[in-house]
Structures are given as structure tokens and as C-alpha cells.
Amino acid sequence: MSELPSSEHRCPHCDSQLEEFEIPNELAWGDATQLACFNDDCSYFKEGWDWMWEQYRAKASYRYRLCPYSGKVTPLAVWSNEALRDRIIKREN
């Protein structure tokens, strides 16, 4: 396993530490392991519900996501608070 400096990455919207997670195969593009903000109180995530509803009439939102190798920031679409949480990689301290 390569070491990712996840502790150095924080969400610019809520200042939470980003969590490393494994992207499901069907959504995979680019990096297989990515970083995202899983804070349910994050303003980006909370505002996403309204935005998605107004734009697409979709009950979905998105979380702040960073691809650590490419450095790209893109929204990670989620359909519930729990979505993708089971993909979070917990590391030993």
C-alpha cells in the first residue's frame, strides 16, 4: 500500500480532514483510491441537496472529492448520507 498524506488534506468548505475511500468499480475513473469530505454538516454537501433538486429534480447531493495523484477536485455524487461510507479506508494510527 502506498502512503497517502491524507492528514494533510482538508476540506476547504468545512475544514474537516478528508477521508480516504475506495471508489467502486462502476464509478472508477482515474485514481482507484480517492479522498473525500464525509462530514454531513459540510456546507458543500448540505447545499448540494438543494442544487441537485433544482437542477435535476434528483434526490442526491455531492461531496468534496480530491484525487490525490492527479490533484483534481471534482464533486462526488451521493444519493444518501450513508452512500460510500462503507468504502472509507480506516488506517491504523
Question: Footprint of Zn ion on this chain (CB under 5 A)?
Answer: 11, 13-14, 16, 37, 39, 42
Distance CA 52, CA 61 (A): 6
- Nearest CB to Zn ion, comparing residues 6 and 16: 16
- Nearest CB to Zn ion, comparing residues 25 and 68: 68
Cβ 72 to Zn ion, closest distance in Å?
Answer: 17
Cβ 86 to Zn ion, closest distance in Å?
Answer: 19
H/E stretch holding 55 reads helix 43-56
H/E stretch holding 20 reads strand 19-22
Compute φ and ψ for 56, nearest 5 degrees. Answer: -125, 0
Cβ 36 to Zn ion, closest distance in Å?
Answer: 9
